[in-house]
A and B are shown apart, each in its own frame.
Chain A
Amino acid sequence: MAVEQPLQPAAATPGDQTRIHNIGYRNYDGPRLGRSYATRSLYSQSLRGAYGLGRSVKSKVLPMLLFVVMCVPALIMVAVAVATKLKDLPVDYTRYAIIMQAVISLYVASQAPQSVSRDLRFKTVPLYFSRPIETADYVRAKYAALASAMFILTAAPLVVLYVGALLAKLDFADQTKGFGQGLVSVALLSLLFAGIGLVIASVTPRRGFGIAAVIAVMTISYGAVSTLQAIADAQGSSGAIPWIGLFSPVTLIDGVQSAFLGASSAFPGEVGPSNGQGVVYVLVLLGLIAACYGLLLRRYRKVGL
């Protein structure tokens, strides 16, 4: 407490800077940028946090590692395509995220809890809500940040593939179209995964539980859906396969992109949804994203102060 001086009521008028022994308190009369600036600040802080930036070295390891793991197969494919002068990339742009879904699930499972559970666990939330931002601003900033982080994770390998394809002098129009469709697909995937991850994580202040719950929801739903689809395929009732696909996040994205984004379905027997079923897929997808946002709003309205 070297600075703490004995009280000197006579000299202690606000803004008094004439005392030599103590650099007095300075008032702040600069700009106060308000709600939208605060929301943007929270967005960028959360987005950086999703890759461990501005946090400890330890918390950078996992997100960075997963990012590398996401990109390495794309680099290898590109190298192969360039070296062996393939006529097409070994994997469609839209298919890449489906193949790498385990990595994506792991990423959302690790980063959704760090984004929201920490604020709940350490009770930092009241500090946010005693400031100009409102519940909805907080939810929007956190949702947008995690969705952006996931988009970076899933779009980066597509960029690698696209650049590689151009280097290998593959058909420009073809590749650009595929790349565009891939980007739309991973954008939807990012919104959906981020929403599901955040809803689950926001229920628990315990990070470990959040991680386990997100992984469980992602893998169990996918496992159950694929098993049921395989059974349906084996029993010859392939009409049921697209309907079953509605019930897990990954197959939902797969269905949407095989109906509208020119992807070949990863469902058994490549039985993608018809156009009519595709509409249902899109509605379910958008409904889920909206529901996640609504649930988050409701959750934080209760947390308050």
Chain B
Amino acid sequence: MVQLTIVDDVTVIATESLSKRFPRVTALDRLSVDVGPGVTGLVGANGAGKSTLIKILLGLSPASEGRAEVLGLDVATKGAAIRERVGYMPEHDCLPPDVSATEFVVHMARMSGLPPTAARERTADTLRHVGLYEERYRPIGGYSTGMKQRVKLAQALVHDPQLVFLDEPTNGLDPVGRDEMLGLIRRIHTDFGISVLVTSHLLGELERTCDHVVIIDGGKLLRSSSTTDFTQTTTTLAIEVTDSDAHPDGTRVVREALHARGVEVLDGTNGLPGAGHILLLTAQGEETYDLVRDVVADLGLGLVRMEQRRHHISEVFHSDADEQDMTKEAAVHGG
């Protein structure tokens, strides 16, 4: 049951029935997936095998079975060459508090093989690109979580890799920091031309950032498809409208109007107080957005919010498992 998606003619990461077994756990179970250039999200719950996969791809841990290539290099034999061309940003803290960001990143650039002068130039450039300015001369210990994440990102980018592995880069960030980090990740590909493999346990935030999403669960490939496929089938819109004198209960009026036009509207309250003004509906594409806009405008109400609702990973797992059962059946019937 291999789901291959043709992305581009170039493959950045390719695995072929890759397995990793520990004495008591199977971390990866015959994982076959191809990843092309661009930003790819690797989604899975904690313990799904994301970190194990990154370790294998960096050539630091041998696979029990199967093979993998990164940038066309075999992970089993070309580990050092891969690590020269790849950047890695770990999930956990990894910064010494008593040195400045500049000193630290210069050192890491040299550890990647950059000559001293180049290391200093690249450090200054990279720290600027991730958004660290005057503070880069101060000891890291005094940085906010968001600034530390930027330093971690800078050390992964300083040697201008062709590919970076970002392990949970939005962990511990507040919503604003999260958005900034996601924007930065997007720019790594669009502006810097570096391919990205970014892990998260939140599908929603990857939907906004990634060209392609790979979902693994229990070491198995659950789904690998481009983000557009994803959002088409899974987007839920949350809308909130104002009330007016003509329509004292705007929410109810909009719901009825939309219902009349054949759009199924769910109640967003879930019995929670204060959430009574939120309506949830499934977007069928561009026209749904236009429809909502027109309906609200025709009623003379104000549209307070219209946003895509984040799906929790478990929802996708659930619906995806159902889908897979169907695919399996289809495959059996198809021969």
Binding site for B on A (CB under 8 A): 1-4, 7, 9, 12-15, 23-28, 30-35, 37-38, 41-42, 45, 54-56, 59, 118-119, 122-124, 126-134, 304-305
Contact = CB atoms under 8 A, between A and B. Distances in A.
A38 B83 CA distance: 12
A45 B110 CA distance: 10
21 contacts: A4-B183, A7-B187, A12-B187, A14-B191, A25-B125, A28-B122, A28-B159, A33-B113, A37-B110, A38-B110, A38-B111, A38-B112, A41-B110, A119-B96, A124-B94, A126-B90, A127-B108, A127-B155, A129-B60, A130-B87, A305-B60
Nearest to A44: B110
Contacts of B114: 28, 30, 32-33
Given A59-B98, A132-B80, A38 B118 contact: no
B96 A118 contact: yes
Contacts of A127: 88, 90, 94, 108, 111, 155
B139 interface: yes
Contact of A126 (B61, B94, B115, B183): B94
Given A7-B187, A32-B114, A118-B96, A45 B58 contact: no
Contact of A26 (B60, B98, B125): B125
B113 A38 contact: yes
Interface residues of B, number: 48
B87 to A, nearest CB: 8
A305 B113 contact: no
Nearest to B107: A45
B192 interface: yes
A28 B118 contact: yes
A3 B98 contact: no
Given A27-B193, A130-B60, A304-B60, A33 B98 contact: no
Given A32-B159, A38-B112, A131-B113, 15 more contacts: A4-B131, A12-B190, A12-B191, A28-B122, A37-B113, A41-B111, A45-B107, A118-B96, A122-B94, A123-B90, A124-B94, A131-B111, A131-B112, A133-B111, A305-B90
Contacts of B90: 123, 126-127, 130, 305
A188 B65 CA distance: 46
B81 to A, nearest CB: 8
B114 to A, nearest CB: 7
A54 B103 CA distance: 8
B129 interface: yes
Given A32-B84, A42-B111, A14 B193 contact: yes
B112 A14 contact: no
A26 B114 CA distance: 15
A190 B118 CA distance: 34
Contacts of A124: 94-96
B240 interface: no
B110 A122 contact: no
Contacts of A2: 133
A192 to B, nearest CB: 28
Q: Which 3 pairs between the two chains have the least Cβ-Cβ distance?
A: A14-B193, A28-B160, A130-B88
Which one of A7, A9, A130, A133 has the highest number of Cβ atoms from chain B below 10 Å of its Cβ?
Answer: A130
A128 B111 contact: yes
Contact of B115 (A3, A15, A33): A33
B277 interface: no
Contact of B92 (A12, A42, A123, A132): A123
Contact of B190 (A7, A130, A134): A7
B190 A4 contact: no
A2 B134 CA distance: 13
B122 A123 contact: no
A150 to B, nearest CB: 22
B137 to A, nearest CB: 13
A286 to B, nearest CB: 31
Interface string B49-79: 0000001001011000000000000000000
B135 to A, nearest CB: 13
Contacts of A13: 193
B276 interface: no
B93 interface: yes
B212 interface: no
B136 interface: no
A129 B86 CA distance: 12
Contacts of A45: 107, 110
A45 B125 CA distance: 22
Given A1-B131, A41-B111, A7 B186 contact: yes
B193 A15 contact: yes
